[in-house]
Amino acid sequence: MNNSRVRRPWRVAAAALIAGTVLLSSGCGRDDKSPSWQGAGSSAQPDGGSSDTPSAAPTLSTVAVTSPAGEAKDVVAITEVKYTSDDPENTTVTVTDPKGDEVKGTLDKDAKLWKPEKALAWGTKYTVTVNGTASEGKNGSTTSAFTTMAKPSKLIRVTSFLGDQQKVGVGMPLIIKFSKSIPESYRDDVERRMTVTATPSQEGTWGWISPTEVHYRPKVYWQANSKVFYKVQLAGVPLGSGYYGKSDLTVDLNIGRAFVMTVSNKTKQMTVKENGKVLKTIPVSLGKSSTPSSSGTMVVMDKQRKTVFDTTDTDPVNGYKTPIDFAQRITYSGQFIHAAPWSEGRQGHTNVSHGCVNVSEAMGSWLFSRTLMGDPITVSGTEEKLKDGNGWTDWNISYEQFKKKSYL
């Protein structure tokens, strides 16, 4: 994985900081370019005469805005304000919009940096006021202004698979998708702008599934009945080749009870636990040798009370079309947990399915009424291993392996 970075223009300060910065004040309409404040020229008198007395030195300042440059145009909407101060601890920074309303942001006094809480409006002029501590002969405040770039035509939309107040299982990954591929050199920026807060606190990480999809999983399954809040702030963020993030999003999520299914090919049984307690042991029939079930950890991706499995399009000779009850998808390739009354006599003894986890009609109904999207199921002992990406396979690798999918 190549994490090499390109140097991005928007990260470079818009103006170089000159040592000993001074702020000059000039009279309206004056066109005298001589450095009179240094005593190099004479000052005009009201009556048009002249005096040998040097003009007064300008007021120096203890603070200065260094980026964006004064009156800068086409500034990115997520710009940060950088400044200098002789007394950082007692310095404040205020950014206001054209109406004079203050823009919400955070101030890092150690780094002398102000960051907006969210992207600024496109094509809008903002005023920065920095107030510090005045000292003898020096002013303690300064103002500057800049204008953000016009709304770009090339925008990337970001979406969340999950919605507010949804309740999911303890194995549910957080899934973020983009409307266009994110270049590798920008993926660390994207991750820094995606934050996850779990209550109680739980360790976790983002991992890229593809150039257009990134998942988040905790180190171990989510704690039962916990709360998860995640935020993606990509509005106005440069994403390469002239593209920018279109918008931000936030999601408040609820984690349900710990409902975990474990299937052994050796015993042909499914063990169902809720919050660590065994609720039921269910006979199953897995995939026969020619169409084996996948061994690995999967999660419930979708639930359908009634559906039809139709494989005749892909296999006109050996395909089949069968009505199915209580279907719960666990892979993209078409493996489900579902009721199979036709194999009830084989369940617990012999594998006869096309790769699915067959259970009885009664047990299919029982499971269906209790599972949530994101409930994990681990199958072991079959002839075939689960392929990475065949479903939400985030739990089929170790946490250390998943962390390697991150660009941070």
Active site residues: 338, 356
Tell me if 324 sits within 8 A of 338, measured CB to CB.
Answer: yes
Q: How many CB atoms lie within 10 A of CB 110?
A: 7
Enter the tokens of residue 347: 């369940």
SS3 assignment for the chain: CCCCCCCCHHHCCCCCCCCCCCCCCCCCCCCCCCCHHHCCCEEECCCCCEEEEECCCCCEECEEEEECCCCEEEECCCCCEEEEECCHHHCEEEEECCCCCECCEEEECCCCEEEECCCCCCCCEEEEEEECCCECCEECEEEEEEEECCCCCCEECEEECCCCCEEECCCCCEEEEECCCCCHHHHHHHHHCEEEEEECCCCEEEEEEECCEEEEEECCCCCCCCEEEEEEECCCCECCCCCEECCEEEEEEEECCCEEEEEECCCCEEEEEECCEEEEEEECECECCCCCCEEEEEECCEEEEEEEEECCCCCCCCCCEEEEEEEEECCCCCCEEEECHHHCCCCCCCCCECCCEEECHHHHHHHHCCCCCCCEEEEECCCEECCCCCCCCHHHCCHHHHHCCCCC
How big is the CA angle at 310 (ends 305 and 314), to the nearest 5 degrees?
Answer: 145
The 10 Å Cβ neighbour count of residue 181 is 15
What is the residue type of 387? K
